[in-house]
Amino acid sequence: MQSIRRFTLAMVLLSGDWSSDCRAQTALADRPRHVPAGFSLQWQPNFDDDAILQQLEFTDAKAWRRNTHEGRAVLELVGNSRYTSKVRSPSSIALLTTRRFGDFLLEAELLQTGRDYGHRDLCLFFGFQDPGHYYYVHFASKTDPEANQIFIVNEKPFTKISTKTTAGSHWGQNQWHRVRVQRIGNKISVWFDDMTTPAMLAEDASFGAGYLGFGSYNDSGMFAQVRVWAPAVEEVERNRDLFKAKAATRSAFDGEFRPLFKSGSLGGWRALNMSDWSIEDSAIRGQSNPRNPCALNQFLVCRTPAGTRSNPGLRNGILLGFETALSTAIHARARGYTDRGDSALGGPRVRVF
């Protein structure tokens, strides 16, 4: 009897070891070989269900919709968003704001549906802190310093941080493309179609864990088959106000606002060509470049007295002593101008010095 008991105990222990090993083998089988060790599947959105829209925040929700294409469920960006960022950066963004990722591997399939031109693009966003602080990958047909790169937006217009890229991401017509974005520590790697060799590389430590998302600078396209792998994920309350404009707040200035040009004089002001500017009904009037009427490229700035000390980030020291309330009216008389002032169409842009 004693020998039988020992035999039974041995069988139980053997069974336990085998079960544990089996679970480990199953986990390895579920994790593709290219996924780093320690990463597990953390998010796989179902674009066939309206519930996915409750996890995302959009710069312009009307520019997005759920759809199907050739039998697959997709998240579709149907056109440029009516959204203006504080700094030059992509306008169309759909962001997952219920989870934040540090290290991650994002896989997706993309289909570009816009017209064919050099900057024809789609984007993937990561490390997103707020609309003025994030990273994004810009997949575009042709490469230049402002296209087909890894960029950072950090309180100023998007800046290239990629140290390697390709000649371009060739979209074709009605073609799906497999992409992959991986971030481990400071290292960022991006693949486009060829999953054996990264198409883009970068290193940056400006931002840590943040939101992930999809979008475009100003084009249209579809996103499908999204999977996100990570060693961990931080679940957070949905941020519904991420892209909402905040109400302006008054500073410590308690003085009276007075019209700057009521006197009808441009004294104390300068421009590249003063003949382009005049005063009309106590308002300043400027004309655009006649060679390119869709680009308002003349800027009037207040003259700074010599030796005036400026704060970091301010080019004009005289701005330290007052606030301005600005009202603008742009009259479209030039061919090809739209009332939205869409920068993609060469519309007007206001610059603050």
Q: Which of 149, 154, 94, 96 is nearest to 121 (CA)?
A: 149
Q: How far apart are CA 141 and CA 138, in angstroms?
A: 10
Question: Does the structure show a pLDDT above 70 at 276?
Answer: no
Average pLDDT over the chain reads 75
- pLDDT of res. 290: 45
Least Cα distance to 141 among 175, 94, 109 occurs for 175
d(CA 124, CA 106): 9
The tens digit of pLDDT for each residue in 147-162 reads 999 999 999 999 999 9
* Cβ(87)–Cβ(133) below 8 Å: no
Cα–Cα dist 237/307, whole Å: 49
Each residue's pLDDT tens digit, 211-223: 999 999 999 999 9
DSSP three-state, residue 268: coil
Structure token pair of residue 241: 């106000």
Confidence of residue 86 (pLDDT cuts 50, 70, 90): confident
Compute the distance between CA of residue 159 and CA of residue 149 in angstroms, rounded to an integer.
9
Section 108-124 average pLDDT: 95
Question: In order of start, what are the domains of the chain with their CATH numbers?
Answer: 40-235 (2.60.120.560), 248-353 (no CATH)
Residue 22 has pLDDT above 50, yes or no: no
Highest mean pLDDT among 236-250, 271-285, 333-347: 236-250
197 has a pLDDT exceeding 90: yes
The rounded distance, in Å, linking the Cα atoms of 219 and 81 is 9
User: What band does 26 get if pLDDT is binned at 50, 70 and 90?
Assistant: very low
Rounded mean pLDDT of 84-88?
87
Confidence grade of residue 263 (pLDDT, cut at 50, 70, 90): low
- Please, which pLDDT band fits residue 316 given cuts at 50, 70 and 90? very low
pLDDT of 303: 38
Instruction: Kindly indicate the confidence band of residue 266, based on its pLDDT and cuts at 50, 70 and 90.
Output: low
Predicted local confidence at residue 141, as pLDDT: 96
**Measured between alpha carbons, how far is residue 5 from residues 8, 11, 16, 17 in Å?**
5, 10, 17, 19
| Model pLDDT, residue 206 | 96
One-letter amino acid at 320 equals L
DSSP 303: P
The whole-number pLDDT of residue 98 equals: 94
| Other C-beta atoms lying within 10 Å of the C-beta of residue 292 | 12
Residue 260 CA, distance from chain mean position: 37
Return the pLDDT at 239.
Answer: 87
**For range 130-159, the mean pLDDT:** 96
DSSP label of 144: B
Q: Could you tell me if 353 and 320 are in contact, meaning their C-beta atoms sit under 8 angstroms apart? A: no
Place of tokens 């929700």: 61
Comparing 330 with 337, the larger pLDDT belongs to 330
Q: Which residue has the higher pLDDT, 237 or 251?
A: 237
| Residue 204 pLDDT exceeds 60 | yes
